[in-house]
Structure 1
Amino acid sequence: MSRRLSRRLFLAAGLAAPALIQARSAHATDEVDVELVLAVDVSRSVDAEEMEMQMQGYAAAFRDPRLAEGIAGGPLGAIAVTLFVWSDWNLQQTLVPWTRLDGAASCERFATALDGASRETYLYTSISGAMDFAARQFGRRYQGLRKVVDISGDGVNNSGRPVAAARAEALDQGIVLNGLAVLDRSPQPSALLAGIPPVDEYYREEVIGGPGAFLMVAEGYEAFAGAVRRKIIREIAAVPQPGPLVERAYA
């Protein structure tokens, strides 16, 4: 090989090195204490006012100083959070992508993103579809010591595959499924006649699962903000303390 050719190859390799490093960095995952996926129900049972209550409740939770304090108390002092809304089996929309939270400033940025997020609602209630979509979100940008999905909703599964199948697959991946059930203060008579179980019972028996899983129950949407705040603070605890399987929040 000639000296001129050797020099060209060397220069080409040198120019390619930064690109290779950049490509590797783009696919690298950062370690965090918890990867938390927030899955929010926007089916037709959620009206515009209730949707606004949900989004304001999540934003208020991330502005609570106790949340930043809880994050700082973890071994790594950082968590990663993403939020998506769901309805039909094939309808999930990410409103806030994966974001690293490591203090009050980053928590405020997440809350601000929620303030500006869209507020559409759709039709059916596919908890199984939400579980499947949530499970696919892990390991993309971050690597959490724990993987948690927080599913909030006010109805039972009526679209997509059986919840039991989606739940089993998520648990096999080491994902903890927590629930936030919102109770309608005046349930529809048709639901009672059809034998549909109360939402809190359904979430307790069919939705939550995994080590330390729990259910938060909001007694009406007026109680949602307090419920979601308490729930997320418990979820991000560095060493989750044994707590009740079911907690209830009142307005």
Structure 2
Amino acid sequence: MLPWTNICGLEDAEAAARVINERGDTGFSRRGRGGTSVSSAIDVASLFLDQFPGRATKKIIDISANGENNDGLPVQPSRLKAIAKGYTINAIAIPAQDENPGHQLASYFADYVIGGPEAFVMKPTGTSDYATALRRKLVTEISMNVDPQFPSEN
């Protein structure tokens, strides 16, 4: 975890990356559990956004997962609370190699996870495309002009 940090350019981004690289994984962890708790990810992200000390025109929760919410609380209450606070939830749905064409993870995320102003799901072609999808998602989020006064009901 990195405390709230202003990243206003390449120098700031490199400094933040160095801190993350040196400290490693010091965030919230679910070691020893094999499930996917999208609801927990939304709740923890909401907690951090609630504590943001500055002003932001957008508050976005990014979810990346290779499975549906199958651990912890149901995802809908967490999703609805975050949207009610004006937060946007975007996602990267990482498909399994043997994904069922009739039940795609991206559709699950679109129907049950994302929400808020201009929310979207990105679907990489596979794990090797994840870095490209993450970069594309961040560029899309940064370039969107969203009025936080009018949260969507997505």
Q: What TM-score do you get using the length of structure 1 for normalisation?
A: 0.51
Q: For 1:173 and 1:121, locate their aligned partners in 2 and report how far apart those are by CA, in whole Å.
A: 26
Percentage of pairs with the same residue: 32
The superposition leaves residues 134-187 of structure 1 with CA deviations (integer Å, 9 ceiling, x where unpaired) of: 111124322211111111111000112111111111110000010111112134
Match of 1:129 in 2: 40
Match of 2:25 in 1: 118
Q: Where do residues 2-41 of structure 1 align in structure 2 (5 Å cutoff)? A: none
Contact 1:184 1:219 in 2 (8 A): no
Q: What is the CA-CA distance between 1:238 and the residue it aligns to?
A: 5.7
Q: For 1:198 and 1:140, locate their aligned partners in 2 and report how far apart those are by CA, in whole Å.
A: 34
Q: For 2:21 and 2:103, locate their aligned partners in 1 and report how far apart those are by CA, in whole Å.
A: 33
Match of 1:104 in 2: 10
Match of 2:123 in 1: 217
Secondary structure in 2 aligned to 1:143?
A: coil
Q: For 2:120 and 2:30, locate their aligned partners in 1 and report how far apart those are by CA, in whole Å.
A: 26
Match of 2:150 in 1: none
Q: Confirm or deny that 1:142 pairs with 2:49.
A: no
Q: Which amino acid aligns with 1:183?
A: P
Q: Which amino acid aligns with 1:211?
A: P
Secondary structure in 2 aligned to 1:180?
A: strand
Q: Where do residues 25-64 of structure 1 align in structure 2 (5 Å cutoff)? A: none
Q: For 1:232 and 1:106, locate their aligned partners in 2 and report how far apart those are by CA, in whole Å.
A: 16
Q: For 2:144 and 2:7, locate their aligned partners in 1 and report how far apart those are by CA, in whole Å.
A: 14
Among 70, 83, 86, which residue is 1:171 paired with?
Answer: 83
Unaligned ranges ≥5, structure 2: 147-154
Aligned pairs, number = 139
Among 122, 131, 141, which residue is 1:235 paired with?
Answer: 141
Q: For 1:219 and 1:113, locate their aligned partners in 2 and report how far apart those are by CA, in whole Å.
A: 31
Q: What is the CA-CA distance between 1:104 and the residue it aligns to?
A: 0.8
Among 103, 106, 117, which residue is 1:197 paired with?
Answer: 103
Match of 2:152 in 1: none
Q: Which runs of 4+ in 1 moved over 6 A?
A: none
CA distance 1:170–1:204, change in 2 (3 Å): same
Q: Which amino acid aligns with 2:70?
A: N
Q: For 1:217 and 1:97, locate their aligned partners in 2 and report how far apart those are by CA, in whole Å.
A: 29
Among 183, 187, 190, which residue is 2:95 paired with?
Answer: 183
Q: What is the CA-CA distance between 1:129 and the residue it aligns to?
A: 0.8
Q: Which amino acid aligns with 1:140?
A: F
Among 60, 65, 71, which residue is 1:159 paired with?
Answer: 71
Larger radius of gyration: 1
Q: What is the CA-CA distance between 1:121 and the residue it aligns to?
A: 7.3
Structure of higher RCO (CA pairs closer than 8 Å, 6+ residues apart): 1
Q: What TM-score do you get using the length of structure 2 for normalisation?
A: 0.81
CA RMSD of aligned residues (A): 2.2
